[in-house]
Amino acid sequence: TWTRESIHKNYIAYITINFLAAFFTGGWPTQFSTQIPNTIWIGLLGIWIALSISTGTRFSCGFIELHQKNPQLNKYLHATSYAMTIFGITTIAAGQYKWVMPLLQSYTMVLISFLMIISIYHSFKNDQKSKFFIFAFSFFYLGVVGRYLRNIAFIEPNFWNENIYQLGAFVYMLVMSIGIFAN
């Protein structure tokens, strides 16, 4: 294997799933195939969003080394994220996309807030990984929250919240790639 470091594998899984979510959010698959119904594309978007919950938790907790700092909290976050991912995928597969997506997106916003609070707490203890995490993820999390707030009709659609997810993801991936592979 080309790397034995789990953080690299978790990062690749995380950015791949988020790339697919961004790809489907932008409606790009419909450009390649018009024979497949939109409900299939939307269902796949939901699956990528559901998968991003568990892969995001796995990568984020691993990056800030939460398993060393608070093993019990680390286990709880992983268990709830896997449960939400499985619940999301099965509910979407059952054709309940419109019902489950606001729940998954709301859970994600709470999880994002919680991970940022944990990182802020540890950054005050002079933890360098937590400080870097806050810097890198701030771009992406702002994009995710902005897009989700637009999706649940909390804010009106405009150019910025239509594209903030992709812009945030681009900046985040650039910053995080430099940080991960520079270590």
Checking if the pLDDT of 165 tops 70, the result is: no
* Neighbour count for residue 52 (Cβ, 10 Å): 23
pLDDT band at 127 (very low <50, low <70, confident <90, very high): very high
Could you read off the pLDDT of 72-93 as tens digits, one per residue? 999 999 999 999 999 999 999 9
Q: What is the amino acid identity at position 80?
A: T
Distance CA 163, CA 45 (A): 16
Residue 132, pLDDT above cutoff 50: yes
pLDDT band of residue 181 (cuts 50, 70, 90) is: low
Q: Which of 14-18, 42-46, 93-97 has the lowest mean pLDDT?
A: 14-18
DSSP string computed for the chain: -----HHHHHHHHHHHHHHHHHHHHTTTHHHH-SSS-HHHHHHHHHHHHHHHHHHHHHHHHHHTTHHHH-HHHHHHHHHHHHHHHHHHHHHHHTT-HHHHHHHHHHHHHHHHHHHHHHHHHHHTTT-HHHHHHHHHHHHHHHHHHHHHHHHTTSS---HHHHHHHHHHHHHHHHHHHHHHHH-
Residue 93 confidence (pLDDT): 94
Task: Give which of 66, 111, 70, 118 is closest to 88, Cα–Cα.
Answer: 111
Stretch 93-114: mean pLDDT:
91
Give the pLDDT confidence of 28-75 residue by residue, as tens digits.
777 777 777 778 888 999 999 999 999 999 999 999 999 999 999 999
pTM, entire model? 0.81
